[in-house]
């Protein structure tokens, strides 16, 4: 597969698993999410327990699987993500009468016993640090990307997936089409974001690519290029030391998300607007019954966002 469909969706030996993947795909889940589901279920049923049917899985099997993951020195949160995929599969089948042999969710039982670890906020995750880093990036493309990261709180993958047709700058919006969980969000932007994008488009390679941000060869920019640009700018700005690896002392593209969230909360943006702009997909952090008007979100955004002094 190429482009946006390069992720591999595995065919599983169990019809229930294939049905689960197909139904989730039909309901609009992203290729990234479908890939995570299929990869985990393949690992569990094909590699770890090839002779075990889904209805015969017990919490003990799940615990053995966690032990296997632990032996690979995976982080606590990574182990949780694997179990969340298994739990999603069992939760889905239990609600479908045609899978009457599946009567429990063994993954959910074990998942409850694995606490999620939240990293502390980096010391350098401040608006002033973000401003210094953006000012130390000369390349118009990388500057535009970091301005978007700082001023929308989006993930680096979401920014790099922006297409030409996603720009609604005259109305003050950008569509982010590759959000976590497969959703799309039209987020507000201010004049500094518009200016940074317009400045970049003056030097953008002239080709027919749908992507906004391109490499010198005309391909979509890779996240490693942006990570390097942010790291080098952070060192030049004195925000972090060269070679810094400690989480609480380094600034990465994802740190802009923390900076944006902190700024908006400090400026008293209502939570449902902030969650909408951030693209939160977890039901624990985003009320699925809340319907956000993009123009109301824009008004709140413009009241809370601050200048990067560009």
- Residue-level pLDDT at 289: 43
Cα separation of 244 and 242, whole Å?
6
- Residue-level pLDDT at 291: 62
Each residue's pLDDT, cut to its tens digit, for the chain (310 residues) gives 334 444 578 899 999 999 999 999 888 888 888 898 999 999 999 999 999 999 999 999 999 999 999 999 888 888 889 999 999 999 999 999 999 999 999 999 998 888 776 666 667 889 999 999 999 999 999 999 999 999 999 999 999 999 999 999 999 999 998 777 667 889 999 999 999 999 999 999 988 899 999 998 889 999 999 999 999 999 999 998 888 777 678 899 999 999 999 999 999 999 889 999 998 855 334 344 446 789 999 999 999 999 999 9
Helices within 48-126 (DSSP H only): 59-71, 76-94, 106-111
Q: CATH second-level architecture of 3-111?
A: Orthogonal Bundle (1.10)
Cα separation of 271 and 304, whole Å?
12
**CATH 1.10.443.10 spans which residues of the chain?**
127-304
- Residue-level pLDDT at 7: 53
* Fold of the domain spanning 127-304: hpI Integrase; Chain A (1.10.443)
Cα separation of 103 and 97, whole Å?
10
- Residue-level pLDDT at 143: 98
Cα separation of 48 and 68, whole Å?
9
pTM above 0.85, yes or no: no
Distances (CA, A) of 224 to 62, 92, 221: 35, 36, 9
- Residue-level pLDDT at 159: 96
**CATH 1.10.150.130 spans which residues of the chain?**
3-111
């Amino acid at each position: 597969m190429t482009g946006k469909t390069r992720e591999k969706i595995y065919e599983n030996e169990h019809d229930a698993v294939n049905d689960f993947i197909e139904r989730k795909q039909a309901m609009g889940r992203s290729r990234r999410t479908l890939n995570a589901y299929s990869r985990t279920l393949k690992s569990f049923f094909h590699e770890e327990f090839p002779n075990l049917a889904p209805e015969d899985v017990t919490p003990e099997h799940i615990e053995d699987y966690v032990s296997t993951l632990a032996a690979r020195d995976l982080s606590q949160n990574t182990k949780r993500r694997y179990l969340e995929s298994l739990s999603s599969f069992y939760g889905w089948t239990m609600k479908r009468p045609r899978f009457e042999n599946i009567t429990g969710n063994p993954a959910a039982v074990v998942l409850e016993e694995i606490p999620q670890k939240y990293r502390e906020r980096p010391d350098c995750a401040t608006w002033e640090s973000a401003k210094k880093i953006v000012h130390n990036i000369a390349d118009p493309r990388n500057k535009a990307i970091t301005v978007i990261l700082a001023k929308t709180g989006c993930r680096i993958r979401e920014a790099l997936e922006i297409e030409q047709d996603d720009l609604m700058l005259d109305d003050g919006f950008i569509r982010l089409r590759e959000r976590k969980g497969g959703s799309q969000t039209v987020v507000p932007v201010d004049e500094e974001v518009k200016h940074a994008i317009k400045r970049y488009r003056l030097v953008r390679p002239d080709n027919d690519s749908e992507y906004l941000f391109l490499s010198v060869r005309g391909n979509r920019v890779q996240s490693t290029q942006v990570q390097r640009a942010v790291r080098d700018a952070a060192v030049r700005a004195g925000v972090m030391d060269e070679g810094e690896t400690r989480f609480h002392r380094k600034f990465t593209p994802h740190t802009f998300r923390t900076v944006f969230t902190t700024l908006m909360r400090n400026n008293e943006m209502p939570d449902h607007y902030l969650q909408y702009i951030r693209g939160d997909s977890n039901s624990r952090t985003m009320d699925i019954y809340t319907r956000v008007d993009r123009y109301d979100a824009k008004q709140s955004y413009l009241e809370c966002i601050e200048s990067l002094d560009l």
